[in-house]
Amino acid sequence: MRRSLTEAVPAITWPQGIVLTGYGPGQAEEVHRLLQLGHSQGGGRVPALDVWQQRFETDPEYDPALCFIALDAQGIAGVCQCWTSAYIKNLVVHPRAQGRGLGRALLLNAFKVFQLRREGYVDLKVLEDNVRARRLYESAGMYVVRREPVPV
């Protein structure tokens, strides 16, 4: 899916009690756990912690300033992991924080950051049967640009 960044990004409303921070290696285990939980609900898979962390932190498109961590009183409530190519790699919200607008706030935050970096658009991939995520992305102005078969 894609969203043009030539259009205005709506104002971001963060749910009460949420603090936005960046990623640090000390958060890897908790971020990984949340990604596993999110992928178990929305499809896809996440490699083992050591493999995931090594791949994530050494990827040529990795920039810790593009990994947005939403914290609440209980820990990490959401993660939006982006690449320097204006690509959203992962967007996951913990079940305890779902339904409060956190996913939308993280998504809009990514749009705003890429807009400030003068990117023309932002992309992501989502499984077609992940209806909840697709609705979120479409409500934020994203549209399908290409369908790809999912390897079985």
- Mean predicted confidence (pLDDT) in 89-109: 96
Distance CA 100, CA 18 (A): 11
pLDDT on residue 129: 85
| Residue 150 confidence class, pLDDT cut points 50, 70, 90 | low
Residues 21-69: pLDDT tens digits? 999 999 999 999 999 998 877 677 889 999 999 999 999 999 999 999 9
Task: Please count the other Cβ atoms lying within 10 Å of the Cβ belonging to residue 146.
Answer: 8
Amino acid residing at 15: P
pTM over 0.75: yes
Query: 120-145 burial by CB neighbour count: b if 16+ within 10 A, else e?
Result: eebbbebeeeeeebbebbeebbbeee
pLDDT on residue 42: 67
Q: Is 20 helix (H, G, I), strand (E, B) or coil?
A: strand
pLDDT on residue 128: 85
Residues 129-146: pLDDT tens digits? 889 999 999 999 999 997
pLDDT on residue 152: 61
Architecture of domain 2-139: 3-Layer(aba) Sandwich (3.40)
Structural domain spans, the chain: 2-139
pLDDT on residue 83: 96
Q: Which residues pair with 20 in a beta bridge?
A: 70
Task: Please count the other Cβ atoms lying within 10 Å of the Cβ belonging to residue 56.
Answer: 21
